[in-house]
Every structure is written in C-alpha cells, then in structure tokens.
Amino acid sequence: MSGEFTLDVQTRADLGKGASRRLRRLDNKVLGIIYGGGKKKPTPILFAENEIVKLANNEAFFTSLITLNLDGKAEQVVIKDVQRHPARETFMHVDFMRVSAKTKITMHVPLHFINEANCPGVKQEGGIASHALNDLEVFCLPKDLPEFIEVDMAALNAGDNLHISDLVLPKGVESVALSHGEDHDLLVCAVNIPRGAASDDDAADEAEGETKEEGGAE
C-alpha cells in the first residue's frame, strides 16, 4: 500500500488570469483544483510551491493517498494531472481527485525494472534490454494503491519478452488493459538480439551448409 502525504492548501477566491499570474510570480503559489466526491463541487485551491516541491522529490507522492488540509478540513485525494512550466519545469497547476475508501480508482503506477543488467540475455548473450512501458494503468481500492510495480527481468534470455500478464501485481490490484481482454496484453519489456548479430545456432547452420557445398563440388 502506498504511503500517505500531507499538504496544506487554501480555497482560491481570485479566479481571473491576472490573479493567477500574480499568485504564481509574486506569491510563489501553485494553483490547483479538487474534484470528484459525488455531489461535492469542484474547489479551486492554491498552496505553497516550496511545499509541493519537497513532497515531489519522493516518486511515491504521485501515486499515493494525499491528505489535503483545506481551510482546516481534511480531504483524501490522489493526483490526477500535473501541469509544469515548459521551460523551468516548475509546478503551475495540479488536479486532485477526492477518493472514497470503498470506491475503486484508476491510476497510472510506475514500473521499476530489476535485474536488467544481470539477466542472461544481457550479461551473457550480449542482448539489449528495452522498455515498452514505463507505467501501468491499474484499478484498485485506495488502500491497495501501490507506489510502484516491480518488473523482474532476471530470467530473460536474448529474444525473450514480458507482457502485462507476466507481471506479479499486488493483492487487490488489477490491470485496466487486461480487463479489456487478451488482445490488450501489451508488451512491457524485452531483451533484443543486436541487429546484425547471429546466434551460435545460426552460425553453426551456416558453416555446415558451406561444408556440404564444398564436399559436393566436383
């Protein structure tokens, strides 16, 4: 289960473009919105930039339950979208979605690849590891939301690959893609044979063919 983070936020009253620029540039504030939660209305908010920067240093922040202290009241949320400045990469706007302990949510969770450099296909056979996915969309209760999903490449030989169905998901966590059927069992990673490199079997077959041709020549 993912860890829990806390962020102090305030309701934002000034909603115009001019006010937004002032809040970002002069007051070092990040703007955001809280939505979801059945009949609750979306709530525009603002919060200190330095506070979210500290939390964002932990990758788990983006896939964890977050407690927003909104004007003295706690809101349980997850992050659904982040907008950053195109040049400076600073936070500009964050969308938070309210969650309920009894309602499943859909989130993108990062994949952590392990044993990549030590798998037989790379270490012994000279293959090249490649990642087709960097995260996986999952469906689960908030309490079961993982910080990341581990992809173990230890057993891969050159030419082998792993699909979503090969992953070991935590209890209570389902793949959104697989819920749509086997046709959506996407490639996750592979160990590719370098272009132009022939396997030992191919080289042996080629040598055997040349020997037969020489022996049959008159």
Mean pLDDT score of the chain? 87
pLDDT(137) > 80:
yes
Of 200, 196, 194, 197, which is closest to residue 128 (Cα–Cα)?
Answer: 194
pLDDT(200) > 80:
no
Of 95, 114, 109, which is closest to residue 36 (Cα–Cα)?
Answer: 95
Helix residue ranges per DSSP H, 104-145:
120-123
What is the token pair recorded at 62? 């983006």
Question: What would the mean pLDDT of 154-167 be, rounded to a whole number?
Answer: 98
**What backbone torsions phi and psi does residue 6 show, to the nearest 5 degrees?**
-125, 135
Given pLDDT bands bounded at 50, 70 and 90, which one contains residue 17?
low
How far apart CA 100 and CA 144 sit, in angstroms, is: 12
| Candidate ranges 7-16, 127-136, 199-208; pick with highest mean pLDDT | 127-136
State percent of the chain over pLDDT 70: 82
Locate CATH 2.40.240.10 in the chain.
4-99
Q: Establish how many alpha carbons lie within 13 A of residue 65's alpha carbon, considering only the half-sphere containing its beta carbon.
A: 19
For residue range 98-123, what is the model confidence (pLDDT) as tens digits? 999 999 999 999 999 999 999 999 99
Highest CATH level, class, for 106-200: mainly beta
Of 36-40, 185-189, 211-215, the least confident: 211-215
Locate CATH 2.170.120.20 in the chain.
106-200
Question: What would the mean pLDDT of 127-136 be, rounded to a whole number?
Answer: 97
Higher pLDDT, 175 or 18: 175
How much is the pLDDT for 180? 95
State percent of the chain over pLDDT 90: 70
What is the token pair recorded at 176? 């959104």
8 Å CB contact between 93 and 31: yes
pLDDT(1) > 50:
no
Q: With respect to CATH, is domain 4-99 assigned 3.40.50.300? A: no
For residue range 67-95, what is the model confidence (pLDDT) as tens digits? 999 988 999 999 999 999 888 888 989 99
Given pLDDT bands bounded at 50, 70 and 90, which one contains residue 12?
confident
For residue range 27-80, what is the model confidence (pLDDT) as tens digits? 678 999 999 988 889 999 999 999 999 999 999 999 999 999 998 899 999 999
